[in-house]
Amino acid sequence: MPLQKILKWLNSFFNNKKSFSIGLYGNVNTGKSTLANKISKDWSGEEMSSVSEIPHETRTVVSKEKISIEVDGKKIVLNLLDMPGITTKVDYREFVEKGLTVKEAQKRAKEATRGIIEAIKWLEHVNVALVVMDATEDPFTQVNLTILGNLEARKIPVIIVANKIDKKKAKPERIKEAFPQHKTVYISALKGTNINELYKTIANVKA
């Protein structure tokens, strides 16, 4: 029925107008999927990605659509995109050390490489980027600098998430000092520490 089609189109048009896409970018094992799960669970009641100690657990773009977040009376609807970790080197031998067979490890390496290419291609569909960094690691990495430089060039708003502040070695202030041009939020996605601060920041960037 033409009328139904028109209504469907209008509905999708207005829903799209309200929602926007947030992409979680960053190096491997910085806690992107743990954070995606935390956000998804807090606002939709269910997790969205699997998490593992073995690097490159997320090898395809995982999306959760229309997550409704309400902060300080502001309501926003967003599509959350958990991206594969970006790195300049993928080596199956690293996975063999973690207990995978050579065949499994080579397959994982190929999928991880494809995932990196996919994550980069998705940049053009992202409205806001959460760049997740491990606060126990040196933030001056080629990957961090490249991701931030590219997002800046594309004029995509960036929120830096200094994750893993529950760990003793964490020095989130190092991240803030390294990239003073961006808003940095210190959190522990695993423990949920300071997560509301992140939600407020997302709501403000969106506004």
Partner 1 sequence: MPHKCVKCSKIYANQSKQLLNGCSCGSRIFLYLRDDQITLQEALDNGLKINNEIDLSEQPVDSKKYAWLQEELKELSKEQPVTIDYDAIENLRILEKGRYEIDVSSLMEGNALIVKDDQGVYYVQLPKGPTLKP
List interacting residues with partner 1 (CB under 8 A). 86-93, 102, 105-106, 109-110, 113-114, 116-117, 120, 123, 142-143, 146-147, 150
Least gap, CB of 25 to partner 1 (angstroms) = 10
Of 116 and 189, CB closest to partner 1: 116
What span, in angstroms and rounded, lies between the C-alpha atoms of 119 and 59?
A: 9
Residue 190 contacts residue 182 (beta carbons within 8 Å):
no
Of 22 and 116, CB closest to partner 1: 116
Least gap, CB of 169 to partner 1 (angstroms) = 26
What span, in angstroms and rounded, lies between the C-alpha atoms of 123 and 158?
A: 12
Of 7 and 145, CB closest to partner 1: 145
Closest CA to 56 of 108, 125, 2: 108
Beta bridge partners, 62, equal 82
Least gap, CB of 128 to partner 1 (angstroms) = 17
Least gap, CB of 52 to partner 1 (angstroms) = 18
**35-42: long-range contacts at Cβ-Cβ below 8 A with a sequence spacing of 24 or more?**
35/130, 35/132, 35/161, 35/163, 35/187, 35/189, 36/62, 36/64, 36/80, 36/82, 37/189, 38/189, 38/192, 38/195, 39/67, 39/69, 39/80, 40/64, 40/67, 40/80, 42/195
Q: Under DSSP, is residue 48 helix (H, G, I), strand (E, B) or coil?
A: coil
Closest CA to 116 of 156, 89, 84: 84
Least gap, CB of 6 to partner 1 (angstroms) = 24
Of 116 and 170, CB closest to partner 1: 116
Least gap, CB of 11 to partner 1 (angstroms) = 28
Of 3 and 153, CB closest to partner 1: 153
Of 26 and 31, CB closest to partner 1: 26
What span, in angstroms and rounded, lies between the C-alpha atoms of 126 and 29?
A: 21
